[in-house]
């Protein structure tokens, strides 16, 4: 993911200037576009279609507003399940035996080797100090997710980990109808020695209307701004700054004194610091990139981590994310080696050809699922 990003940025760098920009005073060599070669009467009709297209963009904006309403409606349907999840994670509620039944195909297949693995695991666990017989809830549930998901582990520092052990829940709250479109990530912490907040928040503001100057670029809601929150760190506990010592020599007297200075420190908790979208052109490219990455992270929390946290905890969502491309090929590549292998595969063959519409609901060239 990260690699892709950089690759794209690098790749297109040399094409950044529109063609012809560097030869201002030469005769323009731009090839005839279809439009330009059309008779005036036809060009006129094409303009009529473009007016219709602008009207479509405004209808589309309304559609996305209704989708947002639907999302709000469904958020309330998911919430009882997410609350139950929190209660199980924190140990407030002990699920019944019936609620804990789980028997996947995979486990069935693996049952034989299960015992072997367990042994190995128990031994490993013993080396690191055996886990307690019955800890409360699911310890380090969210921290484990932070460690497993690349996008999050990139931000995670060692000094963040003891703090994130106190993270009890992450919630997504949608803006109320009639309010400007936004969603808020709420990070709920149990009382801890690091800060006095019980909830840290990050608001992502969205825009769902076609740009007047460029209505055709409209593709649905965009995240356009975000706002963190102040963390009330207890004294000496702020991991987002570090204290460095600096020796200063007095020019005249030649004496040396040591001063301490606070400088920014890498930490996940910088996620809550303000990065303002500037509207006056003062934003430099670094901030621009940071902001873009931040939007992506916010969206990832909302769309993936919060709705399916347990799957990131167990690693199942990670597998999914990474193995999707491989699904199709498994059969194909294998069959390549033995051309008449079709018969053997019979019964076992699971036609995987289906196109998930969610994958393609966007401009095509940036998204290829095969």
**Closest separation in Å from C-beta 161 to its own copies:** 15
Paired tokens of 219:
């593709």
**Closest separation in Å from C-beta 103 to its own copies:** 9
Beta pairing partners, 242:
263
Among 193, 213, 250, 252, binds its own copies (CB under 8 A): 213
Cα–Cα distance, 277 to 281 (Å, whole number): 9
Of the candidate spans 137-145, 153-161, 191-199, 237-245, the one that interacts with its own copies by CB under 8 A turns out to be 137-145
Closest C-alpha among 80, 84, 107, 111 to residue 96? 84
**Closest separation in Å from C-beta 277 to its own copies:** 6
Question: Which residue lies nearer to its own copies by CB, 207 or 237?
Answer: 207
Closest C-alpha among 7, 22, 55 to residue 210? 55
Does position 138 interact with its own copies (CB under 8 A)? The reply is yes
Cα–Cα distance, 310 to 142 (Å, whole number): 9
Cα–Cα distance, 57 to 218 (Å, whole number): 7
Does position 310 interact with its own copies (CB under 8 A)? The reply is yes
Length of the chain equals 370
**Closest separation in Å from C-beta 201 to its own copies:** 19
Does position 353 interact with its own copies (CB under 8 A)? The reply is yes
Cα–Cα distance, 186 to 179 (Å, whole number): 19
Give me the 253-282 binding string for its own copies, x by CB under 8 A, dash otherwise: ------------------------xxxxxx
For residue 136, how far is the Cα from the chain centroid?
29
Does position 113 interact with its own copies (CB under 8 A)? The reply is yes
Beta pairing partners, 173:
184
Does position 362 interact with its own copies (CB under 8 A)? The reply is yes
Whether 298 contacts 185, CB under 8 Å: yes
With contacts defined by CB under 8 A, how many residues of the chain interact with its own copies? 159
Name the phi and psi angles at 133, rounded to 5. Answer: -60, -45
Does position 328 interact with its own copies (CB under 8 A)? The reply is yes
Q: Which of residues 46-65 bind its own copies (CB under 8 A)?
A: 46-53, 55-56, 59-60, 62-63
Does position 325 interact with its own copies (CB under 8 A)? The reply is yes
Among 143, 163, 185, 206, binds its own copies (CB under 8 A): 206
Whether 202 contacts 223, CB under 8 Å: no
Cα–Cα distance, 215 to 54 (Å, whole number): 6
Does position 291 interact with its own copies (CB under 8 A)? The reply is yes
Q: Which of residues 332-351 bind its own copies (CB under 8 A)?
A: 332-336, 342, 345-349, 351
Does position 357 interact with its own copies (CB under 8 A)? The reply is yes
Closest C-alpha among 168, 165, 146 to residue 156? 146
Question: Which residue lies nearer to its own copies by CB, 158 or 326?
Answer: 326
Of the candidate spans 29-37, 230-238, 248-256, 263-271, the one that interacts with its own copies by CB under 8 A turns out to be 29-37
Paired tokens of 259:
């001063």
Does position 135 interact with its own copies (CB under 8 A)? The reply is yes
Question: Which residue lies nearer to its own copies by CB, 193 or 358?
Answer: 358
């Amino acid at each position: 993911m990260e690699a892709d990003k950089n690759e794209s940025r690098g790749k297109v760098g040399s094409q950044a200037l529109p063609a012809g920009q560097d030869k201002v005073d030469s005769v323009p060599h731009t090839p005839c576009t279809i439009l330009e070669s059309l008779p005036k009467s036809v060009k006129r009709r094409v303009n009529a279609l473009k007016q219709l297209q602008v009207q479509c963009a405004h209808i589309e904006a309304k559609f996305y507003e209704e989708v947002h309403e639907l999302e709000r409606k469904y958020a309330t349907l998911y919430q009882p399940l997410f609350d139950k999840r929190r209660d199980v994670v924190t140990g407030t509620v002990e699920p019944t035996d019936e609620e804990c039944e789980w028997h996947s195909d995979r486990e069935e297949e693996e049952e034989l080797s299960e015992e072997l693995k367990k042994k190995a695991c128990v031994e490993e666990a013993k080396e690191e100090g055996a886990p307690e017989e019955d800890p409360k809830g699911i310890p380090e549930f969210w921290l484990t997710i932070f460690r497993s998901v690349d996008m999050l582990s990139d931000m995670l520092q060692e000094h963040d980990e003891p703090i994130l052990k106190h993270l009890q829940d992450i919630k997504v709250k949608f803006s109320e109808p009639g309010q400007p479109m936004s969603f808020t990530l709420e990070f709920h912490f149990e009382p801890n020695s690091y800060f006095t907040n019980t909830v840290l928040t990050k608001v992502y503001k969205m825009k769902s209307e076609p740009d007047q100057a460029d209505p055709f670029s409209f593709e649905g809601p965009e995240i356009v701004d975000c706002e963190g929150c102040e963390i009330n760190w207890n004294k000496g506990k702020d991991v987002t700054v570090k204290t460095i010592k600096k020796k200063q020599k007095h020019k005249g007297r030649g004496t040396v004194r040591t001063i301490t200075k606070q400088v920014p420190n890498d930490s996940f908790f910088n996620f809550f610091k303000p990065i303002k979208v500037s509207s006056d052109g003062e934003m430099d490219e670094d901030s621009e990139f940071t902001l873009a990455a931040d939007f992506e992270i916010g969206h990832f929390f909302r769309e993936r981590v919060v709705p399916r946290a347990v799957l990131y905890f167990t690693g199942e969502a990670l597998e999914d994310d990474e193995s999707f491309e491989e699904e199709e090929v498994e059969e194909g590549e294998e069959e390549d080696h033995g051309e008449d292998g079709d018969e053997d595969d019979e019964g076992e063959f699971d036609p995987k050809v289906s196109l998930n519409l969610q994958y393609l609901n966007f401009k095509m060239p940036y998204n290829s699922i095969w």
